[in-house]
Amino acid sequence: MKLPSLLFLLLPLACPAQTIQGNVQNGTSGAPAAGSLVLLYNSSGEQGRAITRSDGSFQINGAAAPVHGSHGILEVIQDGVEYFQPVRPGQPANVKVYNAASQVRAISSQLSVLQFESKGDRLQVTELHAFNNASNPPITKVSQNNLVVSLPQESRVQPATVSGPDGGTTRIPLVRIADGRIADGSDQYRVEFPIKPGVTKYALSYDIPYDGSIVFRREAQYAIKRLNVIVPESMRFRPMGSEAFHEVGAGAREREQVLDDIGVNEHFAFELSGTGGLVHSFHPSTPVERSASAAGARMVVPDPPAATALGANAAARHPLGIPVLLAFCIVAAAWVLLRRTIFKRQARI
């Protein structure tokens, strides 16, 4: 894959040429990344390239100069992983890359949200996971099975929206693992995306057969600091097993169940029954893919971003191009905290 589908907010580039320079450092070893290929892109495709010197520095001459307020993107590949850094006129760019490994410890979920609502004979599920790679020294995890989820048979899945720490956002299909069926009959799906040092955010959306009652089971692939399960007030939530779920925000139009400190490979399960829709549901916006260059590189230029993660129309473009999934993660976390604050105030009254 030459260049993944990225979210860019770029303005057209003007004609005058300029020089782009900066440094590339290996964040794992702390040493300069000598001999690395640096590519410069804008919304029209590749604009130039250079090889880093022994001290990690590089210089790209003859690049089209961005107009005021716009920027380009630098790409550097290390161990098969693409790293990105915005670059602006007159500002040096410092790109950090990392070594890669298939096994990396110190990855955990800082926030996981499971949202459910019924739609006819289907149950609509949206999952949000924010995985923090706190490896030291920092290493990128590269594996086909970076994220694996088990889903009931006859699930209808949408491509995952994934955002890396460097801001690159892409839509990646959930691929069913051919021999991944587990004992309860569920199928396993995987999302292949490198988990770089920092926070990588996944948003999954799918619907499953629903006859008014279902048992949801999951094994934690990574340690989960806090799991939030959000269902309509009209649906019944019943924990199964010894997991200590507790409800917050009772009396709200949605019910929120929380489970803290789930260990790696630990199982949790709960039964849902009844029907109903959510008043406040989270669904990440879908990037709009557009062709970028004759060389075949695909870049994504979004329509004006939503004013909120709920899909409202935006008044204007953000000059720095905040990734849709980052906004989704921030709003989801803020909403959870707001619900708890309101509940606590009601409890005092």
- pLDDT confidence of residue 129: 96
Give 66's pLDDT tier (boundaries 50, 70, 90): low
Q: Does the pLDDT at position 28 exceed 70?
A: yes
Residue range 282-297: mean pLDDT, rounded: 40
Looking at per-residue confidence, does 338 or 21 come out higher?
Answer: 21
- pLDDT confidence of residue 90: 78
Q: Does the pLDDT at position 29 exceed 60?
A: yes
Each residue's pLDDT tens digit, 234-278: 999 999 977 789 988 655 688 899 999 999 999 999 999 999 998
* Share of residues in the chain with pLDDT > 70 (%): 71
* Share of residues in the chain with pLDDT > 90 (%): 56
Each residue's pLDDT tens digit, 37-58: 999 988 778 889 999 999 999 9
CA distances from 253 to 124, 205, 236 (A): 18, 22, 13
Each residue's pLDDT tens digit, 205-221: 999 999 999 999 999 99
**Domains (range + CATH), the chain:** 13-97 (2.60.40.10), 100-349 (2.60.40)
